[in-house]
């Protein structure tokens, strides 16, 4: 399920710590243990160091695009090519499966741009209304050039909690256009999205849902 190279997020189970959410990557696995890069704070981007026995909840995205979580603690440190933190790793049947990410759609206003490789229309910019792992919906200009079932290119701006913004490109198919005197809307599906887009969307949606839970929203 989890393997070398898998990005992980970690949340401290002690409220007394000055940082609670971190990001790292699995570098190696041995029976009962995972070896990770030294974690960095999601808020500041700075590496953090923890004593043996420090407890975490670890989460990662599986190949089925579901989020899996398990409880762990620091078992030690080791230095190979890189310094690594060793975490206890429970059997996979003790993972907690959260939900499938590709079906989670969140409302969000993200900057995006449309253009055509064949130069069928002039590029234009707009805002998303919502987004998921499989597609999105947008507001369209009154005199937009898009047609249903036609394909175009997009670039989406994804802002993350640590302050960084990622710009990702993808091909989309226009599924439906809903004309209106007030605001024309359209829905799109991603066509053969690159792995980078999939991973960044999962991360973005996961962060947005975490933030909503912290605010007490559904």
pLDDT in tens, 149-171: 899 999 999 999 888 899 989 99
pLDDT band at 210 (very low <50, low <70, confident <90, very high): confident
* C-beta of residue 13 within 8 angstroms of C-beta of residue 69: no
pLDDT over 90 (residue 72) = yes
Q: Is the pLDDT of residue 17 over 70?
A: no
Rg of the chain in Å (alpha carbons): 20
Averaged pLDDT, 59-71: 80
Contact 98/60 with Cβ under 8 angstroms? no
Average pLDDT of the chain is: 85
Q: What is the pLDDT of residue 161?
A: 84
Report angle CA 84, 88, 90 to the nearest 5 degrees. 140
What's this model's pTM, rounded to 2 decimal places? 0.56
CA angle at 43 for the pair 37 and 45, rounded to the nearest 5°: 40
Architecture of the 106-214 domain: Beta Barrel (2.40)
Of residues 40, 32, 42, the one with CA closest to residue 86: 32
Domain residue extents for the chain: 7-100, 106-214
CATH code for residues 7-100: 2.30.110.10
- Residue 97's DSSP bridge partners are 68
């Amino acid at each position: 399920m989890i393997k070398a190279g898998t990005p992980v997020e970690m949340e401290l189970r002690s409220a007394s710590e000055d940082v609670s959410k971190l990001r790292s990557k699995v570098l190696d696995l041995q029976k009962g243990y995972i070896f990770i890069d030294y974690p960095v704070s999601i808020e500041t981007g700075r590496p953090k160091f923890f004593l043996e026995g420090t407890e975490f909840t670890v989460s990662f995205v599986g190949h089925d695009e579901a989020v899996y979580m398990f409880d762990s603690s620091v078992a030690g440190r080791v230095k190979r090519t890189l310094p690594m933190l060793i975490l206890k790793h429970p059997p996979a049947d003790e993972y907690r499966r959260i939900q499938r990410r590709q079906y989670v759609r969140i409302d969000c206003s993200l900057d995006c741009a449309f253009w055509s490789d064949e130069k069928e229309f002039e590029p234009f910019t707009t805002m998303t209304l919502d987004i998921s792992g499989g597609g999105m919906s947008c507001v369209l200009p009154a005199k937009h050039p898009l047609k249903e079932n036609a394909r175009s290119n997009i670039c989406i701006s994804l802002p993350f909690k640590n302050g960084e913004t990622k710009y990702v490109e993808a091909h989309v198919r226009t599924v439906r256009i809903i004309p209106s005197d007030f605001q024309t809307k359209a829905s799109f599906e991603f066509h053969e999205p690159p792995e980078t887009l999939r991973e960044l969307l999962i991360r973005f949606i996961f962060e947005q849902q975490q933030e909503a839970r912290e605010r007490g929203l559904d």
